[in-house]
Amino acid sequence: MLSKLLKYDFKALSKALLPIYGISLLLALFTRIFNMLVDKFPMFSVPNGFISAAFVIALIVIPILTFIFTILKFYQNLVKDEGYLMHTIPVSKSSLILSKTISASIYLIVSVIMVLLLLFIGVYGVWFDNKSIETLIKVFGYIDKTFLVFMILSIIIGVLLNQVMIYASIALGQKHNNKVIYSIVYGFVLYNVTQIGSVILMLPFMLFDSNYQKYVQTSNFSDFGLINGFLGLSLIISILFIIAYYFLAVRMFDKKLNLE
């Protein structure tokens, strides 16, 4: 059943997001064309300015819009009228939420890829070129590989944690009559629980690990071993929160569903 749910979740997100991605690609193409034109015909400098501004806005807005749409789709599909259908199909609540989590996460990754693609189409050779990419790769070459992997993982896990945390907030908020307001309130509560919880879980490491103490005293920022340990621990804690919020959302929809 999960594969069937995924099919419909991807379809729903695609219908909302692909047109926006398409328009952004066109915008990138126009940016490229106007950038070339303005070199030869200065009269294009004004439209070029407008298009470049719209292009920059698109770069910023695409991941944000993707994030907003994934949350909106979750809310409309499970808490609003569509919930009457989704909660009466014979599938488990865990599949419903897992499907939403997977489709949203993949679309968020796609949105980052889209931004990179837009940059290459629109401003490669203008804002950056082969040389800047080589420099970037060189800089990354100096950085510890494990650290790099942990950093990338931290970004992905961080996005996933936010996603599942918001799902759990909505699942808690739907119990009440004013579902939107309560979802926002629970969102703030869970955000603070995550922050405070993470610090508490890290405390033993910070207080009792002698290496960490030494690190703080000497401020040796090149000690990647210790930083990686710290990042690894924070990753484990984030994963624990993801699991906890996922099961919280499943439980709320399973035992406390309130489609009043």
Partner 1 sequence: MSLVEFKNLSKNYGIKQALINANITFEKGKIYGLLGPNGSGKTTMIKIINDLLQPSSGEILINGKEPGIESKKIISYLPERTYLNMNMKVSELIQFFKDFYDDFDEEKAIKLLEKLKINKTDKLKNMSKGTKEKVQLIMVMSRKAELYILDEPIGGVDPASRDHILDTILTNFNEGASIIICTHLIADIEKILDQVIFINQGKIVLNEDADTIRNKKKTTIDKLFREEFKC
- Does 259 sit near partner 1 (CB under 8 A)? yes
Q: Of the candidates 18, 23, 64, 89, which one interacts with partner 1 according to CB under 8 A?
A: 89
In the complex, what is the shortest distance from the CB of residue 83 to partner 1, in angstroms, rounded to a whole number? 8
In the complex, what is the shortest distance from the CB of residue 187 to partner 1, in angstroms, rounded to a whole number? 23
Q: Is 11 helix (H, G, I), strand (E, B) or coil?
A: helix
- Does 90 sit near partner 1 (CB under 8 A)? yes
Q: Of the candidates 130, 131, 142, 260, which one interacts with partner 1 according to CB under 8 A?
A: 260
In the complex, what is the shortest distance from the CB of residue 14 to partner 1, in angstroms, rounded to a whole number? 11
CB count in 10 Å sphere of residue 105: 16
- Does 252 sit near partner 1 (CB under 8 A)? no
Residue 128, strand partner residues: 124
Phi, psi of 221 (to 5 degrees): -75, -10
Closest CA to 121 of 18, 22, 20, 45: 22
- Does 133 sit near partner 1 (CB under 8 A)? no
- Does 6 sit near partner 1 (CB under 8 A)? no
Residue 139: its H or E element: helix 130-142
DSSP per-residue letters across 67-78: HHHHHHHHHHHH
- Does 182 sit near partner 1 (CB under 8 A)? no
User: Looking at residue 92, what DSSP letter applies?
Assistant: -
At 8, which amino acid appears? Y
- Does 92 sit near partner 1 (CB under 8 A)? yes
- Does 251 sit near partner 1 (CB under 8 A)? no
Q: Of the candidates 33, 91, 119, 151, which one interacts with partner 1 according to CB under 8 A?
A: 91
- Does 229 sit near partner 1 (CB under 8 A)? no
Q: How far, rounded to the nearest angstrom, does the alpha carbon of residue 180 sit from its chain's CA centroid?
A: 21
Q: Is 220 helix (H, G, I), strand (E, B) or coil?
A: coil
In the complex, what is the shortest distance from the CB of residue 231 to partner 1, in angstroms, rounded to a whole number? 40
- Does 185 sit near partner 1 (CB under 8 A)? no
Q: Is 128 helix (H, G, I), strand (E, B) or coil?
A: strand
Residue recorded with tokens 């420099």: 135
Give exposure, 220-229, as e/b (b: 16+ Cβ within 10 Å).
eeeebebbbb
Residues 28-87 contacting partner 1, CB under 8 A:
77, 81-85, 87
Residues 13-32 contacting partner 1, CB under 8 A:
15
Q: 34 is written with which tokens?
A: 């106007």
Q: How far, rounded to the nearest angstrom, does the alpha carbon of residue 210 sit from its chain's CA centroid?
A: 35
In the complex, what is the shortest distance from the CB of residue 58 to partner 1, in angstroms, rounded to a whole number? 23
In the complex, what is the shortest distance from the CB of residue 68 to partner 1, in angstroms, rounded to a whole number? 17
Residues that bind partner 1 (CB under 8 A): 1, 4, 7-8, 12, 15, 77, 81-85, 87-92, 177, 255-260
